[in-house]
Chains A and B, each alone.
Chain A
């Protein structure tokens, strides 16, 4: 009985599993094999994992509290004591950048959790059901798509009042239309397929077909698009923070920090530069990972 685990590992590795759990693991293993072959995607994955870890352990990692003002050490340039320097209130920039990861992750996760499922369900139903439902949903989506995203987010935030949560809601509300488009395009290709016809013939309800059969097939391309979108989400969130419409000072949000730092660009370049670099690297991480996932998940790349 000792070789059960090695046997299972062998079955997973060779793609011949013997239980549902092993089948899922085998799929994951295959994905990992593909991901491993792409240095760019691995780099992206490493950056996103770093963001996750930094956000998770921010209090342990940060040398100081992000809000501790010390007016006797304003705008100290980077040094061993303060690797990223200090800002106009003498706060440690490194600690603030590390804590900013939490805001970024919070924004990204909340936007994804709100916008993607809405887009997925609307798009999948629209594509599968067709007819007037499709027409109605798609016209609404077209209207939403017609507005420039940042402007619409600005309008929302102005209406609801500035603040991080309102900014997230605004970004999510403007973020779903592309997901509808993608999910619908995928659902359309499946609508006439024989495997959907087969379950229709068994008398499966429309809801069941959409949830159990259509949605899972929309997920890969949606996931890719979501990853690629996250860079944009971070930029918009930072932009709203920068304009004073997102997170509010003294929050250690990267956009807010950038906005504060712009006053001292000449006398203290480090105040704006390090949050800016953080935004840059995280966006790049999402883009690299998104590109890599597209290569893996897009069946058209499998030859």
Chain B
């Protein structure tokens, strides 16, 4: 039991992901500590989402290992892994089945894992994400983007996981909705003691959510930062510095000189 608390619930060592002739991720290693929120940040093509998918079993692990509670995961993930690790996807329009009611979609994890008290669990989950039972029998196209993402989070929470893999959960949402969903994620983490692996291209969002951040580029890890280091701009690589500056937005004088 003691071992379970000190050991990293999720660790990645020398991870490589290859698709036919393309190496999406190369030799990436990190540990996610119990109860922390670990950020993966980078631009498109940096491999950050692919790492999440490889951990979840949605992308092949070509090299290295992914360990869950110290044990390397197998190609077919164990039942314990399925219950403990859940994922929230970027696009709330694509991550819900378009022709199933909310109730039907939320029932699915319970049915697959053969749990009881289906309706109680569903009601509890939907209230936890700030919605109510009146949403249960609607179809995704009747919901706003923020509501959909809340449903997707509710679906991930249903099986009471320990670790949430969050793949750009707010980048498809309006900024005001983003704030609400980020607050919800912070609340859930505190009340349920969840561990997050949070992927985003937005440094400010990662900064608000994460204690440690791994900067990625072209499938490789560039720099591991603490949240404090990032916020105060104490970074050692050029790329991290460049990202930080870009996140401050457009500054006519500076940017023009550089571009020209």
Contacts and interface: CB of A to CB of B under 8 A. Distances in A.
A208 B113 CA distance: 13
Given A16-B134, A193-B94, A217-B98, A202 B58 contact: no
Given A17-B137, A18-B137, A23-B139, A200 B57 contact: yes
Contacts of A202: 82, 86, 108-109, 112-113, 159
Contacts of B139: 23, 27
B103 interface: yes
Interface in B56-103: 56-58, 77, 79, 82, 85-87, 89-91, 94-101, 103
B117 to A, nearest CB: 17
A198 interface: yes
A213 B100 CA distance: 9
Interface of B: 53, 56-58, 77, 79, 82, 85-87, 89-91, 94-101, 103-104, 108-109, 112-113, 134, 136-139, 142, 152, 155, 159
21 contacts: A16-B134, A16-B138, A17-B137, A18-B134, A22-B137, A193-B94, A195-B95, A195-B96, A195-B98, A197-B95, A198-B89, A198-B152, A199-B112, A201-B85, A202-B86, A203-B77, A203-B79, A212-B108, A216-B99, A217-B98, A217-B99
Contacts, number: 78
B145 to A, nearest CB: 14
A70 interface: no
Interface string A280-303: 000000000000000000010000
A20 B99 contact: no
B97 A195 contact: yes
Nearest to A219: B99
Nearest to B159: A202
Contact of A198 (B104, B155, B159): B155
A194 interface: yes
B103 A203 contact: no
Contacts of B113: 202-203
A87 to B, nearest CB: 50
Contacts of B108: 199, 202, 204, 212
Contacts of A216: 99-100
Contacts of A19: 137
Contact of B101 (A20, A193, A194, A195): A20
Interface residues of A, number: 26
A22 B87 CA distance: 30
B89 A197 contact: yes
B15 to A, nearest CB: 18
Given A20-B101, A200-B58, A216-B99, A195 B86 contact: no
Contact of A197 (B58, B77, B85): B58
A214 to B, nearest CB: 10
Q: Which 9 pairs between the two chains have the least Cβ-Cβ distance?
A: A194-B95, A203-B82, A194-B89, A23-B137, A194-B94, A195-B97, A17-B137, A202-B109, A23-B101
Contacts of A198: 87, 89, 95, 152, 155
A16 B139 CA distance: 9
Given A197-B53, A198-B152, 6 more contacts: A15-B142, A20-B101, A194-B89, A195-B95, A195-B96, A202-B108
Interface string A63-84: 0000000000000000000000
A20 B82 contact: no
A197 B136 CA distance: 22
A205 to B, nearest CB: 8
Nearest to B156: A198
Interface in A1-46: 15-20, 22-23, 27
A253 to B, nearest CB: 38
B103 A20 contact: yes
Contacts of A23: 101, 103, 137-139
Interface in A203-228: 203-204, 208, 212-213, 216-217
A18 B133 CA distance: 8
A197 B103 CA distance: 18
Contacts of A204: 108, 112
Contacts of A208: 112
A194 B87 CA distance: 10
Contacts of A199: 108, 112
A245 B134 CA distance: 58
Which of A20, A201, A299 has the most B CB atoms < 10 Å from its CB?
A201
A84 B102 CA distance: 55
A186 to B, nearest CB: 12
Contacts of B94: 193-195
Contacts of B109: 202
